[in-house]
Structure 1
Amino acid sequence: MTGQSQGPGPEVLMQFLFALRSRGVTDKAVLTAMEAVDRGRFVKGIFAERAYEDLPLPIACGQTISQPSVVGLMTQALQVTPRDKVLEVGTGSGYQAAILARLARRVYTVDRFPQLARAAQALFAELGVPNIITMTADGSCGLPDQAPFDRILVTAAAEDPPPQLLAQLKPGGIMILPVGQSDTVQTLIRVHKLDHGYEYEEIRPVRFVPLLEGLAKDG
């Protein structure tokens, strides 16, 4: 089919994985998952030829697909196990959710853009990924009906970890999210939920779109 990724060749894949390792993605399970998920299937149009570069790329609705090394570092920091139920806030292209689905028991992914949620859901079906549930929802509120979650990953920046999401994390659970008051100064943090309170750890500087409340108009 014209315009559909046939997957990277062996040399391109080797360069792709080398770039991940050189930027700190060393977890074997995460690297295996990222090797198995063809990023080219999640990048459309004129940017498809750059799918295997370590770059963020534009997608529909003014959003982006994160650069692979950041996806890898976030996934690695999340410490997903095969028994985990994961919530992803910000489906975007679906690339991150597809990687999480190879590591977790079940992934719930939500996006405020109906167009993105529909496209991702169709692609998951096409790729035969059975353990992702895709929904259009206000991600800042999480999914109370499906809580609690073992892991939560947020792919948009908030000023502080949203209390609604913290409340939906199991004791012992982990949440990864970017925080910052502008789109130029953000820090990726890991939140461990303890029996009494939370433990916060800074991971690295990042740049993400802002976490917005409410649903977007369907385009």
Structure 2
Amino acid sequence: MDLNKFGTSNPYIWTKDHLLNVLTQGPAKVVNDPLIANALKIIDRKDFVTEEFKDTAYIDRPLPIGFNQTISQPTVVAQMLQLLKPREGKKYLEIGSGSGYVTALLAFITGDNGKVYALERNQYLVDLARKNLAHYPQLTARIEMSFKDGSKGYPGRAPFDFIHCAASFEKIPNELKNQLTVGGRMVAPTQKNDIRVIERVSPTEFDERVHEGYIFVPIVEGTE
């Protein structure tokens, strides 16, 4: 994203309100779903970046969170959520929770009648996400955070209404697709640098669309 088209790339100008305006207002807005816009307003990205990057929490760039992982840039997060089309009271699987930012956004959106099952393969990041999510105690009952390999999904908690993947697949595994409910929707990047939106239209049929994407870290099997 070209930061300068919004007037500045200076991180000290990118306040929380400025970032929210970039994402939700004007002709270049990324978000037009009020559920997502409200979540972005309430859940503060600054709570999910490490201490050394607090001053740049609102600039539209990915930031390191440790172990060669990043918190995605805000426009990417917003675009992925727009493609997912999340709804209240639904059951979510998040693969690659990182520092917990998208976990919190999904938990806020789904409300008290929904659930987010968040998987992270790195124990340090699991602990970091839990620490960050503690800023939002109202979300605790809506989230089940697990130290777990997410490359094949979470069959023990399936099916899911929505699946959000934060790491790229060489090919989206059928085992993961089959964890969607009929009518369920998955958003997953691939190593072709595109984003696949997959909807289960019947027990045996899936609709798959390809959208312009970004470079995501590849999915890795196992835990560390």
Q: How high is the TM-score relative to the length of structure 2?
A: 0.86
Give the aligned partner of residue 3 of structure 1: none
Partner SS state of residue 32, structure 2: coil
Question: How many angstroms does 1:48 deviate by?
Answer: 1.5
Give the aligned partner of residue 97 of structure 1: 103
Q: CA RMSD in A?
A: 1.6
Q: Point out the more displaced range, 19-28 or 105-114.
A: 19-28
Give the aligned partner of residue 56 of structure 1: 62
Structure 1 residue corresponding to 2:195, chosen from 161, 170, 188: 188
1-side partners of 2:51 and 2:15: how far apart?
19
Question: Gaps spanning 5+ residues in structure 2: where?
Answer: 1-11
Does the aligned pair in 2 maintain the 1:91–1:97 contact within 8 Å? Answer: yes
Give the aligned partner of residue 219 of structure 2: 211
Partner SS state of residue 156, structure 2: helix
Amino acid at match of 1:117: V
Q: Does 1:44 align with 2:30?
A: no
Question: Gaps spanning 5+ residues in structure 1: where?
Answer: 1-8
Q: Does 1:85 align with 2:91?
A: yes
In the TM superposition, 1:1-219 aligns within 5 A as 12-21=15-24, 22-104=28-110, 105-128=114-137, 129-130=139-140, 131-180=142-191, 185-195=192-202, 196-216=204-224
Partner SS state of residue 54, structure 1: coil
Q: How high is the TM-score relative to the length of structure 1?
A: 0.88
Identity level (%): 35
Give the aligned partner of residue 6 of structure 2: none
2-side partners of 1:125 and 1:158: how far apart?
30
Question: How many angstroms does 1:25 deviate by?
Answer: 1.6
2-side partners of 1:135 and 1:110: how far apart?
5
Does the aligned pair in 1 maintain the 2:94–2:119 contact within 8 Å? Answer: yes
Does the aligned pair in 1 maintain the 2:198–2:207 contact within 8 Å? Answer: yes
Question: How many angstroms does 1:23 deviate by?
Answer: 4.5
Question: How many angstroms does 1:205 deviate by?
Answer: 1.9
1:136-189 Cα distance to aligned partner (Å, 9 max, x none) = 111012111111000000000001112221111111100001012xxxx41012
Amino acid at match of 1:205: G
1-side partners of 2:62 and 2:163: how far apart?
21
Does the aligned pair in 2 maintain the 1:23–1:69 contact within 8 Å? Answer: no
